[in-house]
Structure 1
């Protein structure tokens, strides 16, 4: 890592600690947090290193997607890859974000693909809890939780907005929302968004259309809320290419991967206060998506498969002493991978000359969880204890792919996992503005429904168990909000897509035990109309036993540094700039580290401006990657046939987007 960059960041953070304290900014510690319990608490009283991004901050940053919103959050690596958004929390590898870090939408576990195209205008707030959420959500929360909370209907007679964005690569977005109060207790809202972009690489195209309906019925001691979303997406995406292709023209897509998706998302929530001491929360979700793939021979799209997810959660919070309470709950989830055309017959096994009787069918994962969380307050101390039990059962058909065992392809199989999660924490509120915490957690992850059918040996995978110890601190010192944490993670039987020694081909594989030691520091300093922001994230990561002992985790940088400034000329006029640095890392599939840290580090700089008139009209502008930095979102090593149609193994690259500009306009009633 560049020593000057590190020294500059440390000095920048240190300078932020010297000024006169202003209690007006203590709101950072009192900000409401929902994701850790599904009931409201605040940042100061939560034993985790939480980051919160509000809708106002999103709007003023002129962000166009989740990458813009989250990339400066400490402890997170977020990138665009092939039209989707990939997250990594604390070094669990962004390319496998849907497996190791939990993304929730209004408390419902979802895929990064599902939220990647969610209009940011629909977002009320985003809460990031590194290393948290395993008691409340269970499976896949080992990295932490990113909870996206969408806007609910407002208790107003009428309200609404219309917005549009234009930018580089023929980006065009238009949308509107309108809400009204139908009766004293019934509020409704409709929303529509249409997004089109040619993409950054030649021939790419991204189209998304979303329509939403929201309704809320106000009860005397609670509320019932319903949200429905219909989305239609079409993608023409470039692929990873060898360097001789991308060096010649970084916008060369290699070839285009085409797909279409159509989805329906239903969400229903019931919240009720039985008494001053007891609250009940229940919510559920039914999500279905139709997937269309592209046939290059016929030049046509065809219905490929369906994905269905069902989710139901019930929990109760009861206060038995002032500031002391317990939460009891249970949840059920079901993942379904459904081939559109199921058949059986005598077929050729993919990648071989073997023929056998093959049957297709649905692959499912059913999970039932039970959890309890107790928080006891004594004087200035808060003690939290949590436990969770999960039972996951799989029923699946082995995929007809060359990475699978030919003897198993087309056969029906089952698997079962039972796991436990634990949490112990102590939070010391030593002053009106400061707190310090110590936590221990044990969380886990098991294969997804798609993952377990995809490659050989999946049914023999051990669950991935992770123990974490974290020490953190939050405080206001001299007009500066500071949040710092250090942690140690020991992961048993980490699941990775790897090439194991006993056979070739990328498969899901327990690579052994791993450890991660990290440090995160965030500082936000206020000087009249100027706000300075900076962060340092350091992560040591290593495989500590097995075939890859002493290797570092691929595709995970050791350092992430950020610095930024926001100047508010008035409440309605602001400009901002953000600098981001990642250190170098290993190729995604280089578990042996034989190619060295060959993924170069890089730094980017973005600018944004926001202006709002008194009549409700506002304007935004964002210049991303100002200096047009050339770097890669992905680097791996696999075969290609670019030269003479011969298979050659070589490094592959997915080049990152260059300089872009986006201009937006919005009018609010």
Structure 2
């Protein structure tokens, strides 16, 4: 594997893959009633859920035995995930084939608060207490009007539970498994008349599948909130401590003979992260006002050997977000109208102290957006929504290291727009269409190593189109979507870029197009079958690479689950996923005579309840398939995926 690819993959793993994103599990008294976070960034009823969204319920999550939110999205939602390079359970989720930069083309929110990172790192969803999740909404396709930078591939909204009544509620969970897995977590909430407290603790230790790949996590979340007439106000504190060993990549021969080995026995990284969140919601007649103010401080460090020498890097990152917004709802005969307008303000700063960089980078952004949605009631229900967003960015970086290429200052303004609608042709059949423009800007990691020294990359824009249909009748459901994203200046690591032999670059025009299917069927009273399929073609459309396939994108991903839920206190769930072959990460010219092979994996869980107790046996990769989802050069730079793992757990609810 080349020096540039090695350094990029290892630096990303060491310095960034442990960022914190604990859950904003919010607790209120019964007077506020059930809540669903929808595409308008406000709490509303399911009638205005995002058009064309996929929903994962708490019952489905528990039945599948998902131990964290990331796993639930992959197992139940059928979303393709790329193995984390740092041994953590935070797989890189890929909506619509964006390869190794999929996390930068997707926005993740918890109860409406954005947790996506402003660096080359996945949103750390494993810190969200899985028992606190009420539902997960996956909206694929361009969503920059409401969510701004990086929402081209789509948005994942995680909605947490709220107590059904006053008193004390909670749970205790413990699990042990192969590869030295030991996990314990607990949560408790106490609600009084108009006031609530909640807290969650978690601890995870595992040696993982490979040598030098041990991982340890400790996290705490706690909060307090007060109900108001027609609203609520509250504060949260979130603390995360993580340490992990970094095994590095393998050659093809090593992968085939000794996939569990490491060539980097001394590499490791750690992160200390603290986040503080304040939120406010209030209803004034036909108006709703809401806002979140969040601040996070993250201290990360990593040590790795390169060229026989120890290199240590420390990162001090601070991020502040403020997102006030206003909604007005009205009714005109059979027409329900909802107008949402708001601003998003963010300031991010990171100071690096390392062998290769001492950069002080800052990004400031401020955005204004407005969106209007109308719904016509009746036998042929119809919805129409349109909106626009304007966002201004101010980015700069100063790096005194003599060979640095990351000294720049840049200002730019970007626009997003959307129009979407749906129409119920029949009570069982609904058609929908979406069109719009989305965008993202290069982050500090990407601008730190570009083809032109000290010049920030151009912004990426995408013209997005989707057509879909959904059908539901007598326990059978089918949803189909065809989509296309035409991208200009896509931001991606190009191993062919000069003069460095690889750099983060603006690519020639590219395209993602394909089809997605979601299906479910109630086969019998106790049996439920569900499946997900994605076909995506990712290619260059202009320039010298026109017609070439983009790398690390499987053309086809197919998953299915069969659930058995009798009334006897037992339950079982079996899942299978097939992932098509894909091009190696360094094969931009499509000249490698091999591809990363396709693979099929199986998982299963059996659980039995005894009053408030539940005991479960579960297994991952039951066929012990040897495969990889991350390989960065032709037949090399391979990060093996996990082998077969069996786990035994016990849970007590009170």
Question: TM-score, normalized by length of structure 2?
Answer: 0.87
Provide the C-alpha distance between the structure 1 equivalents of 2:584 and 2:457, rounded to a whole number of angstroms.
24
Q: Deviations over 1:637-657 (max 9, x none)?
A: 28xxxxxxxxxxx72211110
Q: Indicate yes or no: 2:352 matched with 1:330.
A: no
Task: Report the Cα distance in structure 2 between the residues aligned to 1:501 and 1:572, rounded to whole angstroms.
Answer: 59
1:416 equivalent among 405, 411, 414 = 411
**Equivalent-residue separation in structure 1 for 2:400 and 2:422 (angstroms):** 48
The match for 1:429 is 424
Contact in 2 for aligned 1:285/1:311 (Cα 8 Å): yes
1:588 CA drift (Å): 1.2
Question: Cα distance, 1:499 vs. partner?
Answer: 2.7
Other-structure match for 2:626: 630
SS, match of residue 455 in structure 2: helix
Q: Label 1:430 to 1:269 Cα distance change in 2 as closer, same or farther (>3 A).
A: farther
Q: CA deviation at 1:571?
A: 6.9
Q: Which runs of 5+ in 1 are unaligned?
A: 1-30, 342-348, 351-358, 639-649
Q: Which runs of 5+ in 2 are unaligned?
A: 1-33
- Structure 1 residue 636, shift from structure 2 partner: 1.6
Residue equivalent to 2:395: 394
Match of 1:585 among 582, 596, 610: 582
Whole-Å Cα distance in 1 between the matches of residues 410 and 124 of structure 2? 27
2: CA distance, partners of 1:588 / 1:190: 42
SS at match of 1:626: coil
What is the 5 A alignment of 1:274-353? 274-275=284-285, 277-294=286-303, 304-321=314-331, 322-339=335-352
CA distance in 1, matches of 2:51, 2:508: 27
1:100 aligns with 2:98: no
Deviation at 1:559, TM superposition (A): 0.6
- Equivalence map 1:168-567=2 (5 Å): 168-181=178-191, 183-256=192-265, 257-275=267-285, 277-294=286-303, 304-321=314-331, 322-339=335-352, 360-378=358-376, 380-398=381-399, 400=401, 406=403, 409=405, 412-457=407-452, 459-526=455-522, 527-567=524-564
- Pick which of 532-541 and 71-80 moved more: 71-80
The residue aligned with 1:667 is: 652
Aligned length: 603
The corresponding residue for 1:655 is 640
202-211 or 589-598: bigger deviation: 589-598
Which of 140, 143, 146 is residue 133 of structure 1 equivalent to?
143
SS at 1:658's partner residue?
Answer: coil
Alpha-carbon distance in structure 2 between the residues aligned to 1:433 and 1:392? 45
SS in 1 for 2:39: coil
- Are the equivalent residues in 2 in contact too, given 1:486–1:520 (CA < 8 A)? yes
Please give the alpha-carbon distance, in whole angstroms, between the structure 2 residues aligned to 1:525 and 1:32. 27
Moved more, 83-92 or 62-71: 62-71
Are the structure 2 counterparts of residues 73 and 465 from structure 1 closer, same or farther at C-alpha, using a change threshold of 3 Å? farther
SS class of match (1:241): coil
- Using the alignment, how far apart are the partners of 2:77 and 2:547 within structure 1? 26
Q: 1:119 to 1:156 in 2, by over 3 A?
A: same
Matches of 1:288 and 1:162 in 2, distance apart? 29
Shift of 1:43: 6.0
> Of the candidates 60, 65, 70, which is equivalent to residue 63 of structure 2?
60
Cα distance in 1, alignment partners of residues 42 and 182 from structure 2: 38
Are 2:442 and 2:458, in contact at CA under 8 Å, matched by a contact in 1? no
Q: What CA distance in whole angstroms lies between the structure 2 residues aligned with 1:454 and 1:502? A: 11
User: What is the Cα deviation at residue 189 of structure 1?
Assistant: 1.1
- String of CA shifts for 1:112-154, please: whole Å, max 9, x gaps: 2532443423433322111143111110001111122344566
Shift in CA distance, 154/35, structure 1 to aligned 2, threshold 3 Å: same
Structure 1 Cα separation of the partners of residues 623 and 190 of structure 2: 45
Matches of 2:392 and 2:418, distance apart in 1: 19
1:85 aligns with 2:91: yes
Aligned partners of 2:51, 2:271: CA distance in 1, in Å? 37
Pick closer, same or farther for the CA change 1:456–1:116 going to 2, 3 Å. farther
Whose radius of gyration is greater, 1 or 2?
Answer: 1
Which range moves more in the overlay, 454-463 or 436-445? 454-463
CA distance in 1, matches of 2:203, 2:46: 35
1:668–1:152 CA distance, 2 compared to 1 (3 A): same
**Given the superposition, is the C-alpha separation of residues 329 and 596 from structure 1 closer, same or farther in structure 2, using an over 3 Å criterion?**
farther
Q: Name the Cα RMSD after superposition.
A: 2.5
3-state SS, counterpart of residue 448 of structure 2:
helix
Partners of 1:252 and 1:627 in 2: how far apart? 20
Q: How far apart, CA to CA, are the structure 1 residues paired with 2:500 and 2:311?
A: 32
Deviant stretches of 4+, over 6 Å: 297-303
Alpha-carbon distance in 1 for matches of 2:263, 2:400: 27
Pairwise CA distance, 1:539: 1.0
Q: Which residue of structure 2 aligns with residue 4 of structure 1?
A: none
Instruction: Work out whether residues 38 and 44 of structure 2, in 8 Å CA contact, stay in contact via their aligned partners in 1.
Output: no
Structure 1 residue 75 displacement after superposition: 7.1
Shift in alpha-carbon separation, 1:611–1:329, aligned structure 2, 3 A: same
